[in-house]
Amino acid sequence: MGNARPAARARSGCLKRSHRLAHGEGRASDADYLVRIADNIPGGRTICAFGEACSWPVQSFVGKFKDEIVARGVADEERRARQGAGPTAEMKLAASPQV
């Protein structure tokens, strides 16, 4: 495995969770997930400076707005439960076999 891959995968995970929150598909657990991923990148766990640079904004905005992020995730979960929402088109696409 390359030395930049862990940082790239963590960045991708943070971007997906952030995008989901911003578009009404959040979960109550997203804030904790973002912190866990962002905290795992710095401190010599990767030699990639890009990884550390990507983790700092996530650590900052979750640290300052964790309550709001959790509330947004809970509200999104409740809204989906009331609507009886099944998988979104994006979820179906992500779950489909890659050809």
- Label each residue of 54-75 as H, E or C: HHHHHHHHHHHHHHHHHHHHHH
Residue 69's pLDDT is what?
93
Dihedral sign for Cα atoms in the order 11, 13, 15, 21: negative
pLDDT digits (tens, 9 = 90+) for 3-55: 667 777 778 888 888 899 899 899 999 999 998 888 887 666 667 777 778 88
> CATH top-level class for 5-95?
mainly alpha
Phi and psi at 38, nearest 5°, equal -65, -35
Q: Where are the domains of the chain?
A: 5-95
Tell how far CA 52 is from the center of its chain: 16
pTM above 0.85, yes or no: no
Whether residue 85 is predicted with pLDDT greater than 60 in this model: the reply is no
* Confidence (pLDDT) at 39: 84
Residue 78: predicted pLDDT: 92
Plot region of 44 (φ>0 → left; ψ -120 to 50 → alpha; else → beta): left
